Amino acid sequence: MSTAMTAFPKQHAGTPSGTPAIDDLAINTIRTLSIDAVQGADSGHPGAPMGLAPVAYALWQEALRYDPAQPSWANRDRFVLSNGHASMLIYSLLHLAGVERVDHDGRATGELSVPLEEIKRFRQLGSVCPGHPESHLTTGIETTTGPLGQGLATSVGMAIASQWLGARYNRPGYALFDYRVWAICGDGCLMEGISAEAASLAGHLGLANLCWIYDSNRITIEGKTDLAYSDDVAARFAGYGWNVLRVGDANDLPQLARAYETARRNADRPTMIIVDSHIGYGSPKKQDTASAHGEPLGEEEIKVTKRAYGWPEDAKFLVPDGVRERFAEKLGRRGAVASAEWRERFEAYAKAYPWLADEVRTMLSRGLPEGWDKDLKPAAADAKGNATRNSSGAALNAIAKQVPWMIGGSADLAPSTKTLLTFEGAGSFQKGNRLGRNLHFGIREHAMAAVCNGLALSGLRPYGAGFLIFSDYARGAIRLSSIMELPVLHIFTHDSIYVGEDGPTHQPIEQLVGLRAIPGMHVFRPCDTNEVHACWRAAMNLTHYPAVLALTRQNLPTLDRSVVASADGCARGAYVLSDAEGGLPDVILIGTGSEVHLCLGAQEILAKEGVRARVVSMPCTALFDAQDEAYRASVLPSAVRARVTCEASSTMGWDRYAGLDGECVGMTTFGASAPAKDVAKHFGFTPERVAEAARASLARVRGAHAGGAR
């Protein structure tokens, strides 16, 4: 539906003088599309997009370097809507700007990413306009934002990526990477602790290419923010080392444009722009409550609001003539020129620096260099062995040396997690060294995981590390790495009660179960150095799934692979490590990580009793579950009902492998503070306990057979 511009007043009463009528019309189109979509869905948040419409419009039209026809252009500015409940704001922008949908290879299709019909299906099943922006569903959404503050922290990763990419690949006359990152946030984003972690890190690193725009509307779901929030945001961000600006009226387009230009000129600090706004127009009663923020306005209120905009009261999903053209005139034209220049520059760059151009192409396609794992050599049998955190640290360095765009670090635990890159030239990413490959996140687990998401969204291959128990602090962002189908690697050490003296607060119990429960997450728990190498290979080959490496602090023997099976079986998630002689086993012992060795010990005990036991190492349940039925049956034949699972963690979920007649050796309580060997013995993590469980399972199966089929 279209209405001629002459049907509208020249200027809205709330717009400062000097604003062209077409800009006012475009802003009100964003607002009314948002109102109509929320009302049509009978669900959503109209207030925030109404108040933010001029703020976002000014950004897109005056500052954002973005080509709607090439939305995957590598050097585009990134726009992040951290307060994702305002999703209709970005859907309206994507539609009006004519952003094209790209295919799985990143090529523009010529079709709109967000057609008007999809806006009409806002929050409906299968729509590309879900309730909160989802990067894996909708072209033009740079990152999934739902939980407040996540978008802000992710934007820090994007800003780091831009500066690292520029330092690595830019050459005189060839500026390939210098994009900026713009994020809009609200009161809720700044209340969440993750934003404090991320802002502190960004200030420390001096990320001058990062700008957060704070919609200070003083309203949350429960009411006015003074119920629970009285921060001096300007002072807070000045304390973080940010450049702080203020725009007193969200409708003042010239003042907004000046603020954005000031942020662009800033060369040494990130910028926070505080914008004072109201959540919407319409009746004063509605403006003064949270209702307009968290529920549809209602038909009568919509009419009042549209009258205030000088809008036809009964028009639905109206895009007046000239609005799309206005976006094309400024954002579209500017972006088209910039992206075309970049493509020409890259073609010339590829001739001058072909090896670097190949790196960029491989990186952006989520590929890996040829021979990336060539330095992972087989480890000889060793009874003393090594902690898997140590062998993982060596593997990380061997791989990262061959994968130049692999970058990451730890939440202040690199010496313990063995995640410091130590090869020549690795260095640390700091203000004075944007080439550094080691990121020092500080004690900020949640921000670390979100920053890694931002790095992955920018094409890098990131990793973040810490103790497994502290994965709880990072879980929100870890979950999003799986939703967004990002190949982020989470390295967690100190993976069980063998942490020992640190006691129950530091001994993970339910963490492995919780991480495995995340759809798409691949949790690897290797049993020795060769399994560490195999698990690294499997994890690095995941292009659309995140992975967790769960690693020991204590030494584990390196198995003699001439006696037991090759660790290559890790690629299928589980494999027969050591089989019984004489045909089908009587019992199957399934272990992960350090407990695989207990299963091997139990196998020996049972063999002396004439019991044939098969030992299965299951480092990754997700990979095993994805195998075909024939392979799974070859490892865990249904005819063998006597089974034992063993993991020094919660037993939850292991019953699906143990079966009705099986036994699960694991933890059903929290741990205890004592030396690791004493803790293990106290909780029954011994070969003898595993053998005892095997006898119990066998007795159950034999009893069932003696009493008839169940």
The set of catalytic residues is: 445
Of the candidates 324, 329, 313, 327, the one whose C-alpha atom is nearest the C-alpha of residue 7 is: 313
> Which residue do the tokens 């993982």 mark?
392
CB 613 within 8 A of CB 604: no
CB 701 within 8 A of CB 642: yes
CB 278 within 8 A of CB 80: no
* Pairwise CA distance, residues 162 & 177, whole Å: 6
CA distances from 679 to 12, 654, 664, 667 (A): 72, 22, 18, 12
Q: Which amino acid is residue 290, in one-letter code?
A: A
φ/ψ of 244, rounded to 5, equals -110, 125
* Pairwise CA distance, residues 82 & 260, whole Å: 18
Of the candidates 532, 534, 636, the one whose C-alpha atom is nearest the C-alpha of residue 589 is: 636
* Pairwise CA distance, residues 333 & 559, whole Å: 63
CA distances from 77 to 172, 271, 458 (A): 21, 15, 11
* Pairwise CA distance, residues 661 & 475, whole Å: 34
Angle, CA 127 vertex, CA 125 and CA 131 arms, to 5°: 80
Which pair of tokens denotes residue 542?
A: 């995941």
E strand spans, 364-420:
382-387, 406-410
Q: Are strands 100-102 and 108-112 parallel, antiparallel or unpaired?
A: antiparallel
Of the candidates 88, 74, 422, 48, the one whose C-alpha atom is nearest the C-alpha of residue 216 is: 48
The continuous run of DSSP H or E covering 450 comes out as helix 445-457
Angle, CA 189 vertex, CA 183 and CA 194 arms, to 5°: 100
* Pairwise CA distance, residues 662 & 654, whole Å: 10
Q: What is the DSSP string of 37-72?
A: HHHHHT-S--HHHHHHHHHHHHHHHHT----TT-TT
* Pairwise CA distance, residues 142 & 645, whole Å: 42
Chain centroid, CA 625 distance in Å = 23
Buried b (16+ CB within 10 A) or exposed e, 653-676: bbeebbbebbbbbbbeeebeeeeb
The continuous run of DSSP H or E covering 527 comes out as none
* Pairwise CA distance, residues 81 & 155, whole Å: 10
* Pairwise CA distance, residues 526 & 649, whole Å: 14
> Which residue do the tokens 């934002």 mark?
145
Torsion, CA 544, CA 124, CA 98, CA 46, rounded to 10: -110
Q: Which residues lie below 8 Å from residue 111, measured CB to CB, with a gap of 6+? A: 100, 101
Q: Is 695 helix (H, G, I), strand (E, B) or coil?
A: helix
CB 204 within 8 A of CB 197: no
